[in-house]
Structure 1
């Protein structure tokens, strides 16, 4: 397949606070250097784009030295934490903003869906905005007219198509914007995190349409999302951004694992050094959490059983007096529930104990969770407490394509017994 998009040494720098250099003479100097093809004389080294750090420089690199190629018909996932530079990259590709250094070589038209209602004029009707967006994308009036009925039908806004867009809900706007971008046949479709605005029906239709665009019609899609299920189902490969730089590029599964793993050197395992968590009555050696039957390097999926292994040495002569309890918290610190080895009737023994607690499949929602460890004595007194002893991430990466990819309410997904009675 031919390379349809080539990004070479792409960087974007922003100055915090002021716009321009601060003086008219310096602004003119910058303009004069630019038209002669020379480097910006005021381009400084700048700091990396890390919002958690206090930095001295007024210049920040939103993107730095981005290089990758996209081939015809590929679906490329672009993933990373908030502030990693994903939206900045897509805005440069869509020519909303220009790069500070580097260049982009592309073949064909690029259509973008960056934010809800981007490119829509609020005073114009839905139908008028279809023609406006089509013209912006370089379509002739005849081309737009031939696709008009398909766009309106797909968007589901038939009844309101002659109503000004300012009266649309955010969901209606994104439906219409996606329909315009998808049906006006761009060579490259750029989509930022907008599908989350839509309902289950729209998500299903939009994901199906993106598959048709890439596989059926051989066109290229760049897809930014925090939804790892959609990324793994749709994308042929993925790029991970961190602080404006590419830290991983390759296979989608490996990219998702790298992203979820974060800065930790090991995934799903925590080993404690000698004397790190120890009293005269016990020592904690290791915690492991993973899907049953899968390796430690693999991400934890919601639709498989999840094993939590606690490796603990009990030194007491009366080990039956002790049991292990955990409290589970979500990413914002809400306590979800507690679970204990005592409730399962498990009795610890003197010496090494490898305790396995199994969560049933489809019990957890996707998300990040934190464990607090307790060693309880005589079922009433906490002998030892270690808060946030371990965290783990559950993803919904193996749902069947075509079902709802959005997050359900709550943090657990109990699987109740259902029967049909006469």
Structure 2
């Protein structure tokens, strides 16, 4: 029997345009206009355009695999590995630069919040629209309608325009539609991370049911490795746009975790698995005790800490304008826990030296016990300059965050929330 999906020599190239001569913030341009309006008009071409440098970036390189009918296959790898690009090509959202794909069946994909929905239509209208796109008759869609609405939990908002839905509502309805319309192939990206834990569990149960009872094929991309292992017997590991391994899910996950662990032995400044223009490089990160400034291998919840980030620009003679440092805490399952961002803090950097260190002070560290990966990135005026997944790993131990001496009742990863309680005894 012919495979339901055949991927042969797929590659995808993007052309990235860099602006030479540095970044000019909008506020700087406006300030120049206010000071010297006629001079600006005279020389506007020089200010606005500058020299352009084009760079080719291969997001995918020679991807080959086949998937049989009824298989559930996971696709894992760090951000930037090419997973989402591959799914967009499989979903016919973007064409490959090279190669070919053959399908033997209908397909439904859930890649991003709102995928396949028309924002001006209501939830009810979008259910019928998606069914029609999949080739179902109005009678067939009506037969599935109640199940879709019940599963999504958005019944009260069914006649509201989808553009007014929250991201969570959009995901719930989109998944319900995709899973109940009975496509031969169901493609699901990390979009499920938008939903709450209970809904994610519900979705995984539905995908397993679809696979077992309907004989349908599932492609599942997720950082939630336990979820991938429970649903998929076979898995694909991607790295830097290439397939590094295809095999039994447990073996592939072990390979991924071993690769991830080996990165911790490479100094941050020497890491090659980074995204961005590369004009500035983050060279080191360490957690420090706020009083002693001694490096910390573990942090306690409630402890006052400082995160030290070292950086260096290629252009030593020029200051770095409008940098924004972003640090994200990610659980071992790949779930976003929390993050800090210099642009959102009380100290916004307008200009910093071409090399040096920035310090992020976090009083009463609010993260719950667990092991967390740190994702780091640096942006300038919204452009990613440097981005590194798994830049650091930090272990958090239980500490008396609330200063009450009461043990933490929550045995999962997350954040502590500062709170107070009071009683109004006069109300009965």
> So what's the TM-score if we normalise by structure 1?
0.56
Q: Is the 8 A contact 2:372 2:393 kept in 1?
A: no
The alpha carbon displacement at 1:200 in A equals: 2.4
The alpha carbon displacement at 1:391 in A equals: 5.4
Q: Residue in 2 aligned with 1:32?
A: none
Q: Residue in 1 aligned with 2:14?
A: 14
Question: How far, CA to CA, are the matches of 1:225 and 1:87 in structure 2?
Answer: 10
Q: Is the 8 A contact 2:236 2:246 kept in 1?
A: yes
Q: Residue in 1 aligned with 2:4?
A: 4
Which of residues 48, 70, 74 is equivalent to 1:73? 70
Residue segments in structure 2 that go unaligned for 5+ positions in a row: 19-52, 266-294, 307-367, 375-391, 397-410, 417-428
Which of residues 204, 208, 218 is equivalent to 2:205? 208
Which of residues 84, 87, 109 is equivalent to 2:84? 87
What SS is found at the alignment partner of 2:64? strand
Greater helix fraction, Structure 1 or Structure 2: 2
Question: How far, CA to CA, are the matches of 1:227 and 1:17 in structure 2?
Answer: 34
The alpha carbon displacement at 1:15 in A equals: 1.2
Cα deviation 1:326-360 (Å, max 9, x = unaligned): 73159xx9969xxxxxxxxxxxxxxxxxxxxxxxx
Question: How far, CA to CA, are the matches of 1:365 and 1:3 in structure 2?
Answer: 42
Which of residues 344, 368, 376 is equivalent to 2:373? 368
Q: Residue in 2 aligned with 1:157?
A: 154
The alpha carbon displacement at 1:198 in A equals: 0.8
Q: Is the 8 A contact 2:210 2:216 kept in 1?
A: yes
Question: How far, CA to CA, are the matches of 1:2 and 1:103 in structure 2?
Answer: 16
Cα deviation 1:213-265 (Å, max 9, x = unaligned): 11221111000011111111111111111111001111111111211222666
Does residue 1:237 correspond to 2:234, yes or no? yes
The alpha carbon displacement at 1:120 in A equals: 1.1
**What are the residue-to-residue correspondences of 1:37-56 with 2, within 5 Å?**
none
What SS is found at the alignment partner of 1:226? coil
Does residue 1:328 correspond to 2:298, yes or no? yes
Q: Is the 8 A contact 2:298 2:394 kept in 1?
A: no
Q: Residue in 2 aligned with 1:24?
A: none
Tell me: CA distance 1:180–1:194, structure 2 relative to 1, closer, same or farther (3 Å): same
The alpha carbon displacement at 1:99 in A equals: 0.8
Q: Is the 8 A contact 1:327 1:335 kept in 2?
A: no
For the pair shown, which has the larger CA radius of gyration, 1 or 2? 1
What SS is found at the alignment partner of 2:17? coil
Does residue 1:114 correspond to 2:114, yes or no? no
Q: Is the 8 A contact 2:234 2:249 kept in 1?
A: yes
The alpha carbon displacement at 1:132 in A equals: 1.4
Question: How far, CA to CA, are the matches of 1:101 and 1:139 in structure 2?
Answer: 32
Question: How far, CA to CA, are the matches of 1:235 and 1:220 in structure 2?
Answer: 11
Q: Is the 8 A contact 1:76 1:236 kept in 2?
A: yes
Q: Residue in 2 aligned with 1:123?
A: 120
Question: How far, CA to CA, are the matches of 1:94 and 1:150 in structure 2?
Answer: 25
**What are the residue-to-residue correspondences of 1:350-389 with 2, within 5 Å?**
365=370, 367-368=372-373
Which of residues 163, 167, 178 is equivalent to 2:164? 167
Cα deviation 1:78-107 (Å, max 9, x = unaligned): 111111111110011110111111111111
Question: How far, CA to CA, are the matches of 1:135 and 1:366 in structure 2?
Answer: 46
The alpha carbon displacement at 1:136 in A equals: 2.2
Question: How far, CA to CA, are the matches of 2:107 and 2:371 in structure 1?
Answer: 33
Question: How far, CA to CA, are the matches of 1:224 and 1:146 in structure 2?
Answer: 30
Tell me: CA distance 1:334–1:7, structure 2 relative to 1, closer, same or farther (3 Å): farther
Q: Residue in 1 aligned with 2:56?
A: 59
Q: Residue in 1 aligned with 2:413?
A: 408
Q: Residue in 2 aligned with 1:353?
A: none
Cα deviation 1:11-51 (Å, max 9, x = unaligned): 11111139xxxxxxxxxxxxxxxxxxxxxxxxxxxxxxxxx
Question: How far, CA to CA, are the matches of 1:407 and 1:164 in structure 2?
Answer: 36
Residue segments in structure 1 that go unaligned for 5+ positions in a row: 19-55, 271-324, 337-362, 370-389, 395-405, 412-422
